[in-house]
Amino acid sequence: MGNAVKNIIILGGGSAGWLTAGLIASEHGIDRARGMNITLVESPDIPIIGVGEGTWPTMRRTLKKIGVSESDLFKECEASFKQGAKFEKWVNGTADDFYYHPLVEPLGYSDTELFYQWKNGEYNTSFGDAFCFQGHICEHGRAPKLITTPEYSGIANYAYHLNAYKLGEFLKKHCINKLGVNHVIDNVLKACSHDNGDIAALETENKGLLKADLFIDCSGLSSILLGKHYGIPFISKRHILFNDSALAAQVPYREPDDAITSHTISTAQKNGWIWDIGLPSRRGVGHTYSSAHTSDEQAEIELRQYICHSLGEQRSAELSLRKISFEPGHREVFWHRNCVAVGMASGFLEPLEASALVLVEMAANRISEEMPANRTVMDIVSKRYNQRFLYNWDAIVDFLKLHYVLSKRTDSQYWLDNVSKESIPERLRELMLLWRYQPPNRHDFPYAEEVFPSASWQYVLYGMGFNSSQRPTRKAMNRSALSDKYFRETQEFAARCVSKLPSNRELIDKIVQFGMQPV
């Protein structure tokens, strides 16, 4: 077949660009017979955004597939273990207002309607802590594994916190040296088109024309190919998700051996929320907020007050902050003609639940797995791709909005606006109505590979005090003995983990010194 897809150009060398290059090259790069050729071009002048420090457990599969050593990731990317998120002050803002969204399903999740049993039982603890051990180990700052556990395996499911700049460098080295990705450092000036409207080449400042059959736009917020060249409209989600600004800081520990938190802490503020991510050498702390509801100055005051608790007033006041603005939303389609956008070039909603990099992984995997053999079939692949990813973006919008809709905070217009009916997407409104009478289940989410499975929805719903009235089904009724057993087993396992697992810092120090057992 003519017009075979052999040459791929990836524009952009941020996390999206290098993850995409790695995933495609590890699957197709060695396909010498087909003559697949992958080139990544990045600007010497335009820095990467560099703030994506929280990931999902999918990153373990991705990195394993790309072929990097997990021990090297810890050594070179300042990685630490992430076991979910702790949400503080999202419901009413009081000191004891918190819940966990862990990365492990509740024990017995598919056997019985745990929520009803929890509601009727005398467990005297949150829904998450009743049936999932992970919140317990996070509270004690424990790691999800032992030094003897092989790379990429865990006793508890886990993801990473990492330094985004170092991740980019780490992947770059591997992609170029081990996977044969060509690397061009140059500014792309514009895209040149074939008569049919496909992109023929990228015109660069110094290296002339870079020709290819498929162009992957990973150019970040500037969305050079999909947004600027093709003019694909941007669909704003600002009317649903109000945050459009962030102030980010790198916060030193008081002492070099201070504990490294084993989860992301997300603390609600008057007009947004603060993320707090522990890396071995520092914390990444930032305030994301709505510019329609507060000023940069006020957001800065709240961020410095937050940091002040751990660092003291003077050091907190001296920290430099970086301001980032973004429009929450995504492109109308993601794959147009012979160009597909991945990462910030395709859209960005907000940092809550670290949903951006997981979407990069899903996108790059899908492109790689469905790599069209030739231009003739590309439109079939792109049509399906666009349908699926529009679903993914909408599902993420709904899931993120859920955190705001369930809040009972009334201390600012921000929280009041967040529960206004017109700001809640129709599908979410429907699901929440349905869930008053039945807990979320797999029928609510049609795909095998959902960004957030039904257990995640349950953790947030019941963590924030949502109530589902009881249905007299066999699964729901008369199962208290079973849920008592799951409760007991969870508490016993949590206690064993807390006593046996090393602290996050202890394990990371050992990994950096000795490495883990390779797979």
- 188 lines the binding site for ligand FAD (CB under 6 A): yes
Q: How many residues sit in the footprint of ligand FAD (CB under 6 A)?
A: 39
Q: List C-alpha distances in Å: 28 to 144, 178, 371, 502.
A: 33, 13, 9, 39
Stretch that binds ligand FAD, among 7-15, 27-35, 140-148, 369-377 (CB under 6 A): 7-15
Angle at 491 between CA 499 and CA 277, to 5 degrees: 65
Q: List C-alpha distances in Å: 457 to 91, 140, 403, 424, 430.
A: 16, 24, 10, 16, 14
364: amino acid identity, one letter: A
Q: How far apart are CA 307 and CA 315, in angstroms?
A: 9
The sign of the CA dihedral 443, 446, 449, 453 is negative
- 57 lines the binding site for ligand FAD (CB under 6 A): no
- 344 lines the binding site for ligand FAD (CB under 6 A): yes
- 372 lines the binding site for ligand FAD (CB under 6 A): no
Cα 64 to the center of its chain, rounded Å? 18
- 42 lines the binding site for ligand FAD (CB under 6 A): yes
Question: Residue 427 is encoded by which pair of tokens?
Answer: 């599908």
- Residue 396: name the closest of 366, 422, 360, 371 by CA: 360
Question: Residue 479 is encoded by which pair of tokens?
Answer: 């199962």
The sign of the CA dihedral 323, 329, 331, 335 is positive
The sign of the CA dihedral 104, 400, 466, 413 is positive
- 220 lines the binding site for ligand FAD (CB under 6 A): yes
Stretch that binds ligand FAD, among 218-226, 328-336, 374-382, 450-458 (CB under 6 A): 218-226
Q: How far apart are CA 252 and CA 231, in angstroms?
A: 42
What torsion do the CA atoms of 120, 130, 99, 158 make, to the nearest 10 degrees?
Answer: -150
Among 4, 6, 46, 147, binds ligand FAD (CB under 6 A): 46
Cα 11 to the center of its chain, rounded Å? 22
Among 38, 155, 356, 367, binds ligand FAD (CB under 6 A): 356
Binding mask 283-322 for ligand FAD (x = CB under 6 A): ---x-x----------------------------------
- 13 lines the binding site for ligand FAD (CB under 6 A): yes
- Of 15 and 468, which has the nearer Cβ to ligand FAD? 15
30: amino acid identity, one letter: I
In the region spanning residues 392 to 421, those forming contacts with ligand FAD, defined by CB under 6 A, are: none
What's the number of CA atoms in the CB half-sphere (13 Å) around residue 72?
13
- 24 lines the binding site for ligand FAD (CB under 6 A): no
Q: How far apart are CA 518 and CA 45, in angstroms?
A: 37
Among 4, 146, 147, 324, binds ligand FAD (CB under 6 A): 324
- 14 lines the binding site for ligand FAD (CB under 6 A): yes
Backbone angles phi, psi at 294, to 5 degrees: -150, 170
- 52 lines the binding site for ligand FAD (CB under 6 A): yes
In the region spanning residues 155 to 174, those forming contacts with ligand FAD, defined by CB under 6 A, are: 164
- Of 340 and 356, which has the nearer Cβ to ligand FAD? 356
Question: C-beta of 246: minimal distance to ligand FAD in Å?
Answer: 4
Stretch that binds ligand FAD, among 101-109, 343-351, 410-418, 456-464 (CB under 6 A): 343-351
- 102 lines the binding site for ligand FAD (CB under 6 A): no
- 339 lines the binding site for ligand FAD (CB under 6 A): no
- 357 lines the binding site for ligand FAD (CB under 6 A): yes
Q: Name the site residues for ligand FAD (rule: CB under 6 A).
A: 11-17, 41-43, 46, 48-49, 51-54, 164, 187-188, 218-220, 222, 224, 246, 248, 286, 288, 324, 326, 343-345, 348, 351, 354, 356-357
